Chains A and B, each alone.
Chain A
Amino acid sequence: MMTRVLQYIGQVVAYGGFIIFVGYLSAAPAYVHLQPGQAQIKLSFSHAGKPVSECRERSDEELARLAPNMRVRKVCPRERSGVAVVLEVDDKLLYSDILQPSGLKKDGTSTTYRKFTVKAGKYKIKIKLKDDFRKSTTIKDVSKLNAGDFNYTYSRKVYLGAGKIMVIDFNKEADGFVFSF
């Protein structure tokens, strides 16, 4: 009888241990992902650079060699320019890259997604973009570019509150960079 009671107690303890184990690890211990007082700058866009060379017109001989339904005089290159981007915070370089276009023929968009965790506070943000490299361009390093080489430049002072996220996107239709908080 005593053994039976002890067995029942043992089973209750086993089930108790099981639910404590499952119940606790199901939501604890808490994980501190970011420290209080931090804010974040997210730079992300998907933008197709300009074609790497000018469109040209086919000669009559060239047109004659094509099938009748393909005889379009103006022909443009599929390949797109890479997109150079530079992000400066308080005049210090935070990020720079030349983003290559996607696709086997390099005819897709250049995309980026970067996030930077900073202390909350006031910042001067400057961002530059160049999307019109020519096919003959051999520049691989953004630092080799001059300020005048960029065809989009945007600068503004922002206040990033603790826990806030500022997103910098690029929208050609909106005439360049879009900041959202």
Chain B
Amino acid sequence: MLERTQRSGRRLFEWVEAGFNRIGGHRWNPFYQLGALSFFFFWIITVSGLYLYIFFRTGTTAAYESVEYLTIDQWYLGGVMRSLHRYASDAFVVTIVLHILREFFIGRYRYFRWFSWVTGVPLLWLTFAAGIGGYWLVWDSLAQYIAITTAEWLDWLPFLTDPIARNFLNQASMSDRFFSLLSFLHIAIPLFLLLGMWIHIQRMTLPRSNPTRILAVGTISALLVLSFILPATSQEPANLDNLVFTVNLDWFYLNFYPLLDKWSAGSIWALVFGVTLLLVVMPWLPPHKPEPVAVVDLENCNGCGRCFDDCPFGAVDMFPRTDNLPFSHEAVVDSALCASCGICVGSCPTATPFRRATALVPGIDMPQLKIADIRDKTVQAAEKLTGHDRVIVYGCRNGTDINRLQGSGVAVISLPCISALPPSFIDFVIARGHAEGVFLTGCQQGDCYYRLGIDWTEQRIAGLRDPALRKKVPRERVATCWSGPVGFARQKAELVSFRAQLLEMGPNRRNGAIINKTDTPDSKGG
């Protein structure tokens, strides 16, 4: 049931995202930057809020009047700032909800990701508390409705002797100091929210907290357009002596308020606490045994720190050497943080298939798919290939099912992440004549399941990141296709095109002579 829901949800997201990729490419696609967009909206809210705060006056009539001054008299700046403040806050909720749904459907909330998921839950509370509090400050009829309804809802909790709602009995019961408290809370809660957002991304290496420039410019422009054509306005001034009949709710923040008219306050608390609890325990529902984590082999680890640099989740740390080998540091894997993606193996300079003098045991390896197994699979798969356009496809298991690409001239090897493949394997396949070319494929560009796998792979091939693909490896014999799980047609088309290109180029040559795989030691079981 859970898996079916996730599969359907994931398919829906992938379908929408593919459409967005078509019209703007992966760097523009907002679905790949939902967390970063949330940060971006937070900063817009902060800057616009600071401006509004300069003019905001606390008081039962002063609050409304100062907001009206900003909206009407200073429409060209204060009004725009108010609208930006409102709409960025609404967009903040949109990106947060999409972010939660997307991570849930993709399954990126379990195991090592529990921390990011669980620390995100209080952020929901803080977001809504900050947003709802903001509406009180305007002190119009909507604020009156929210204030009374919220107070009645809070009064259900058995914490306070005197009902909070008594503060809103009539005009005479209102105090100016109430607005000082509200404005203080409206600053304090977002500060806690920011702290929570910082904690939320703590287990990420190089967290993306800024959207791409093209998306940022487009988004703020869109919000500005909206602010000019539909400025945020107040409703009637609040008057606690009169009833509020109809309110124009902000459905992003106040969507559950109508329920408070239909259900009891206790039922709504049960719902809210129930959803919160469910969100908190979700990473462990149902319990699953996580995959084995990366294992360091000290005899082969020279403490170079590349795995430390490349791990997307900070699961590898460097500690002073504990053996007698002449290196200053050794890698240590924190199993609680390890994603079992194998990116560390791909970064290990000792994970080279050319190594023949000793058994192929790298400094760091994945127990479920050892680097020696990848070499054996490569050699065995290559032996079955025929033709002059033979290709070995290395694919990430979070992309399409690459087995569908298999054929007489195409061998496929699946990896946890494409970046788990040390670049020396590309060299190995081409230099030893195992195939005419290497085709690397995996997640959609900009949306790597393990965050940095595609970036590291591209940088290694381009020679920008260690371990780099050797310069003498002909780059035209290496193709990449970041098509994601729904990009099979594109993947297939690019593979066909790549093979045609290989046919045109002719067989692999070294010093002018054709490299024949039977000449290489690997074919004899090396």
Chain A contact residues, CB within 8 Å of chain B: 6-7, 10-11, 14-15, 18-19, 21-23, 25-28, 30-36, 38-40, 42, 44, 46, 102-103, 108-109, 111-113, 163-165, 167, 169, 180-181
Contact = CB atoms under 8 A, between A and B. Distances in A.
A163 to B, nearest CB: 5
B161 A26 contact: no
Nearest to B86: A26
A135 B225 CA distance: 69
A35 B225 CA distance: 36
A22 B261 contact: no
B23 interface: yes
B226 interface: yes
Interface stretch (B164-172, B175-183, B343-351): B164-172
Contact of B248 (A28, A111, A163): A28
Contacts of B247: 30-31, 33
Given A23-B230, A26-B86, A44-B163, 7 more contacts: A15-B218, A30-B248, A33-B244, A33-B261, A46-B166, A165-B243, A167-B170
Contact of A25 (B23, B28, B90, B246): B90
B246 A33 contact: yes
B226 A111 contact: no
Interface string B238-251: 00111111111111
B13 interface: no
A15 B219 CA distance: 7
A33 B248 contact: no
B284 interface: no
Nearest to B25: A7
B252 interface: yes
B24 A7 contact: yes
B241 A14 contact: no
Contacts of B226: 19, 22-23
Interface residues of B, number: 47
Contacts of A169: 169
A108 B226 CA distance: 53
B464 interface: no
Contacts of A46: 161-163, 166
Contacts of B244: 33-34
A164 B161 CA distance: 28
Interface in B232-272: 232, 240-252, 257-258, 261
A51 B47 CA distance: 56
SS of A interface (majority): mixed
Contacts of B250: 25-27
Nearest to B260: A33
B257 A31 contact: yes
Given A23-B230, A27-B248, A109 B243 contact: no
Contacts of B225: 15, 19
28 contacts: A7-B22, A10-B23, A11-B28, A19-B87, A19-B225, A22-B90, A22-B94, A22-B252, A23-B87, A23-B229, A25-B252, A26-B90, A26-B251, A26-B252, A27-B248, A30-B246, A30-B249, A33-B246, A34-B244, A38-B243, A40-B243, A44-B163, A44-B165, A44-B166, A46-B166, A111-B166, A113-B165, A165-B243
* Closest 6 pairs between A and B when the two form their complex, measured CB to CB: A10-B23, A113-B163, A19-B226, A15-B222, A27-B248, A102-B161
Interface of B: 20, 22-24, 28, 86-87, 90-91, 94, 145, 152, 155, 161-163, 165-166, 169-170, 172, 218-219, 221-223, 225-226, 229-230, 232, 240-252, 257-258, 261
A109 B170 contact: no
A180 B242 CA distance: 12
A9 to B, nearest CB: 8
Given A10-B22, A111-B161, A111-B162, A181 B241 contact: yes
A181 B239 CA distance: 12
Given A19-B223, A32-B246, A180-B170, A164 B241 contact: yes
Given A11-B24, A26-B86, A163 B242 contact: yes
A25 B250 CA distance: 6
Nearest to A117: B243
Contact of B169 (A25, A42, A102): A42
A38 to B, nearest CB: 7
A39 B241 CA distance: 11
A39 to B, nearest CB: 7
